[in-house]
Amino acid sequence: MFFDLVGRMIAAELAGLDPVLFHNRVVLIGSNDVALAGGALASLVAGAFFLALYPGSRNHDASRLAVLWLILHCFRQGLVPMALAPLSDDSDMSRALAALELPGGIDVIVGAAGAAGLLLISLAAAPAFLAFANHQRDISTPTKRAVLMLRVGVVPGIAGGILAVPFFIPDSGIGLVPSLPTFGLFTLATLLAALGVKSVEIRRDPDMTPRFSWALLATLVVTMLVFRFALARGIPIPPDPESFFFT
């Protein structure tokens, strides 16, 4: 969601608007619906960036799992608005496409691309999650693969979604709370895909036990607290030196 907000802010600035960045929304002072697509675009760019970095780390620890979840969240945040574009004329993506005055039917094409992207990402995530098994025997049967997916995929996904909600309340039309069911479908597709994956090979030192990263947890907590409370009053972009906050 952070990249979505930043993307909206940058797009609004490029469109000549005066954006105000809050913790749960970006208020656009002016009128240019093209800027509404900035959030989805920025989320996709961020997802692609972290995906390119992901293979560089070989340690399957909490930090790598957090990056995997970051990648999935970024792609979901970018692809869901695309998939929903033809279903609602009032959605941000639909309004942005209408403002661009593109040929008729482009919203259907964008929607189909978004839905296909969500399906492909959810299926590709299955082997990435299974690679966090400590031993090959932990993913030797569909039942064991399901158990591992519940531990590293489903439970963290549900917990992460629930914990994120308080930081973005009130929803203010940003779409986080209404989009949570789509994330459930996204995770379910990954879980079902994992049942049939047999190509993952676990090659690591059996004596190497992944350690919980307290530094990662502290970084996430501090970042979220700053994001939630420092931006609650709103920051005009560019900031006003005399009155930094909007309210």
- Residue 236 DSSP code: E
In a domain, 54, yes or no: yes
Q: Does the pLDDT at position 230 exceed 70?
A: yes
Lowest mean pLDDT among 13-27, 32-46, 96-110, 164-178: 164-178
Range of the domain at 221: 2-236
> What are the pLDDT digits (tens) for 127-166?
999 888 888 888 889 999 999 998 888 887 777 767 766 6
Closest CA to 204 of 152, 136, 138, 156: 136
pLDDT above 70: residue 183: no
Asked whether residue 247 is assigned to any structural domain, the reply reads no
pTM of the predicted protein model: 0.80
pLDDT tens profile 208-222 = 555 656 776 787 778
Find, among 161, 168, 202, 167, the residue nearest to 182 by Cα: 161
> Does a structural domain hold residue 17?
yes
**Which residue carries 């949570």 as its tokens?**
180
- What does the angle CA 186 – CA 192 – CA 198 come to, to the nearest 5 degrees? 125
The answer to the question of residue 243 being in a domain is no
Q: What are phi and psi of 21, to 5 degrees?
A: -90, 120
Is the confidence at residue 186, as pLDDT, over 60? yes
pLDDT in tens, 6-15: 888 888 888 7
Q: Is residue 166 part of a domain?
A: yes
In a domain, 97, yes or no: yes
Residues counted in the chain: 247
User: Does residue 241 lie in a domain region?
Assistant: no
For the chain, how many structural domains are there in total?
1
Contact of 106 with 98, CB cutoff 8 Å: no
For 151-161, how does the pLDDT look when each residue is reduced to its tens digit (9 = 90+)? 888 887 777 76
What is the C-alpha to C-alpha distance for residues 40 and 79, in angstroms, rounded to an integer? 7
- Residue 6 in any domain: the answer is yes
pLDDT > 70? residue 246: no
